[in-house]
Amino acid sequence: MQNIGAYGVEIKDVFESLEAYEIAKGELKIFSHADCKFGYRESVFKRELKDQYIIVSVTFRLSKNHQINSSYGIIEEELKKNSITNPTIKDISNAVIAIRSSKLPNPKEIGNAGSFFKNPVVDLSVLEEIQANYENVPNYPAGENKVKLAAGWLIEKAGWKGKTFSTYGVHKNQALVLVNYNNTKGSDILALSDQIIADIEKKFNVTLEKEVNII
């Protein structure tokens, strides 16, 4: 629904089409790649068609002549740790699973909604301002004079990582994840996210956007 992606790859890269049920008319409709209007963590189903359709099936187009993508830095580190120099698809898969398992809490054990914030895309001038105080700011090209920053890095540098407030807080291993330790109200989690957004705006002049849907 939101063009999910991680470690340099997004759903839109292999998406062919989907079938969705239009709630108001009780009819099925096919959406092409163009129809879905994919963006970073975005699609037509999160904007103008939100709550109007139920996605029932998705068709992906995969290549038999695949190209290994291990360019995302942390994947390379995981491969080196396991002495893998010529990785297969399975090696990349195992590396991603290991990375995510080490950083993200199991929702069966700790209540969470996964990554709560999008990685912000900002002007190059904003990156340069941050680099004046933090030389090694993680950043990735995102178009002409634009870069994508790591929201988790910003939140961690602002001092939020691992903070606990009664029965909820920010996960100790991944600052993007807000956690519910024991019967916390949704309003408390939402309030915490707003506090983090305000603090990042103040400290880095960067506006974070929530990735999750608020119901």
Please write the tens of the pLDDT for every residue from 119-155.
Answer: 999 999 999 999 999 989 999 888 889 999 999 999 9
Assign residue 4 a region: left if phi > 0, alpha if psi is -120 to 50, beta otherwise? beta
* Contact predicate 115/177, CB 8 Å: yes
pLDDT on residue 149: 96
Q: Please compute the mean of the pLDDT values over residues 5-16 and round it to a whole number.
A: 86
Active-site hit among 19, 41, 109, 187: 41
pLDDT on residue 73: 65
**Cβ-count burial of 102 within 10 angstroms (0-12 exposed, 13-18 middle, 19+ buried)?**
exposed
**What gap in Å lies between CA 55 and CA 109, rounded to an integer?**
29
* Contact predicate 15/35, CB 8 Å: no
- Between 194 and 10, name the one with better pLDDT: 194
For 49-108, what is each residue's pLDDT tens digit? 999 999 999 999 988 887 777 776 688 888 988 899 888 889 988 998 888 888 888 888
pLDDT on residue 204: 97
147 — phi, psi (to 5°)? Answer: -140, 150
Q: Please compute the mean of the pLDDT values over residues 23-50 and round it to a whole number.
A: 93
Active-site hit among 43, 78, 193, 211: 211
Catalytic annotation on 211?
yes
Active-site hit among 43, 78, 115, 193: 115
Q: Does domain 111-204 have CATH number 3.40.718.10?
A: no
**What gap in Å lies between CA 60 and CA 12, rounded to an integer?**
9
Q: What pTM was computed for the model?
A: 0.72
pLDDT on residue 3: 85
Q: What is the largest CA-CA distance in the chain?
A: 56
For 165-214, what is each residue's pLDDT tens digit? 999 999 999 999 999 999 999 999 999 999 999 999 999 999 999 988 88
pLDDT on residue 196: 98
CB atoms within 10 A of CB 53: 20
Residue extent(s) of CATH 3.30.465.10 domains in the chain: 5-60
Catalytic annotation on 47?
no
Q: Does domain 5-60 have CATH number 3.30.200.20?
A: no
Residue extent(s) of CATH 3.90.78.10 domains in the chain: 111-204
Catalytic annotation on 41?
yes
Tell me: pLDDT of 5 over 90. no
